[in-house]
Amino acid sequence: MQPPENTGNIQYSAEPGTVAGDENRSIHGTAYKAAQGYLFRDQDETPWWIIYSPTTGTGSGGAQQVGDILSCSESTDELVTVRVLARNVLQRDADNAFLSACPATYEEATRTASQIPTQSVTRRAF
């Protein structure tokens, strides 16, 4: 399956110890694309990456993969600030929402993420 045009298949990663927020977990995911590139600016002009991050142990991968929509600060500091915009959403639903809405700002991306249906998830231990 090809990534939708709004992702561009750009991968985003931040390792534990460099993440502030969301339980200091490592972050790996696919970035969504705004009209002006991969950074969504908030009302204060602060740039954020908006990514889909698969949740370990929740599915078979691909469009049926369950994960989270995260915003990650564009940081030159040592720590990346992470905010959870939506939890337990199907990748297909998230990709379709961002493709349909074409958010251009951080606030628009937040509204888009809040409208994605969530899934009941039983996490598998590995």
Q: pLDDT value at position 60?
A: 56
pLDDT band per the 50, 70, 90 thresholds, residue 120: confident
Residue written as tokens 């298949």? 9
- The model's pLDDT over 5-53, given as tens digits with 9 standing for 90+, comes to 455 578 888 887 787 766 667 788 999 998 888 999 999 999 999 999 9
In a domain, 126, yes or no: no
Taking each helix axis from N to C terminus, what angle separates 106-114 and 91-101, rounded to the nearest 10 degrees? 130
Asked if residues 5 and 98 have their Cβ atoms less than 8 Å apart, the reply is no
In a domain, 77, yes or no: yes
Please count the structural domains in the chain. 1
Q: pLDDT value at position 3?
A: 38
In a domain, 101, yes or no: yes
Domain range spanning residue 93?
11-114
Give the residue ranges of DSSP H helices in 38-88: none
